[in-house]
Amino acid sequence: MKELQTAEQFQEAISGEKTAIVKFYATWCPDCARMNMFIDDIVNEYAQYDWFEMDRDKFPDLAEKYQVMGIPSLLVFRNGEKIAHLHSANAKTPEEVKQFLQSLTA
């Protein structure tokens, strides 16, 4: 998963025709640390997507614009538009994340 360091990198990442998933996290967040324990396997299983991550605290304007109220959150973009959002309350287990990703192709 590639770390996005600037707002420009974020815009570039979400603007393609290929579906991009951006994980918003924070370094102090225990649920983010828990997600990090299982997300790599999911990224490998769902390699048809481009995966990125952003520190929510470094980009509060983007977090607000895309309604990232809780972390971790997975936001799904295609052609610059947010098409799906997995909120933190529903992103606690690998099963919940996989169920969300499977719904994208349904």
- CA–centroid distance for 34 within its chain: 15
Active site residue 83: no
Active site residue 101: no
Strands 50-55 and 2-3: parallel
Beta bridge partners of 17: none
Catalytic residue (choose from 32, 35, 68, 101): 32
Catalytic residue (choose from 14, 29, 35, 71): 29
Radius of gyration of the chain (CA): 12
User: Catalytic site residues?
Assistant: 29, 32
